[in-house]
Amino acid sequence: MYNTTFIKYFYLFILFCAMFIVIYNEVTETTGFKFITGIQALLVCIFLFQLLNDGSKHLKALRIDVPETPFTRSDNISIPLFWVIVPSIVMQLISSVYVTITTDVVQKKYNRLKLNREDRYRLNMYKFMFMIATITVLFLIFSYCNDFIGGANASNFAGSYKTLLLISFITSIILPGINLFISKRFSKLQFSMTD
């Protein structure tokens, strides 16, 4: 039988791709941020429900084997995937709420998204990093859903796949944090606007 647990995330990925196109249009930018916040909230809910029903979540971990040397014994490091996935999607949700509220306030005030050069740069950096972070988190969710079936662990993976997982881990930790910082600074815009 086929494993179909990832299909719901694939449908969310298609919705994210459509919204990534929408947020790069000046007319639909604020509406796109609202939909992205909704889709991100749906992603958080779906993954948390899956996590609550998963009895083997601690076994789904990136395992890095440390070889034996004359000075150290052989050992391994296991990092459960959900330790990275859950904080990343929650930080992405919080940052998308900040950006949605700020762009909505600016849109209501000026009837368009009127930003100075620095704020436009922040918003464009946020958009780009949000796309990259979403793709890497969905890749980790794909690995969580499909790669650990039947008691398989990360020691059976090829070295290049482990490296890709490690890069996704690092990206999924760093980019949502940077996005949260950018969106928090961007959200201060709504308090500094004048009539």
Sign of CA dihedral 27, 99, 179, 163: negative
Task: Give 153-165 pLDDT, tens digit per residue.
Answer: 666 677 788 888 8
Q: Which residue type, as a one-letter code, is found at position 82? A: F
The pTM of this model reads 0.87
Separation between Cα atoms, residue 148 and residue 156, nearest integer Å: 10
Q: Is the pLDDT of residue 75 over 60?
A: yes
Helix (H) or strand (E) holding 62: strand 61-66
Which residue do the tokens 């509406």 mark?
Answer: 31
Q: Domain limits of the chain?
A: 7-58+77-192
Q: How far apart, in Å, are the Cα atoms of 6 and each of 2, 61, 65, 103? A: 11, 17, 28, 32
Task: Give 78-110 pLDDT, tens digit per residue.
Answer: 888 889 999 999 999 999 999 999 888 888 888
Q: What was the pLDDT predicted at 1?
A: 45
Q: What was the pLDDT predicted at 26?
A: 84
Q: What was the pLDDT predicted at 107?
A: 84
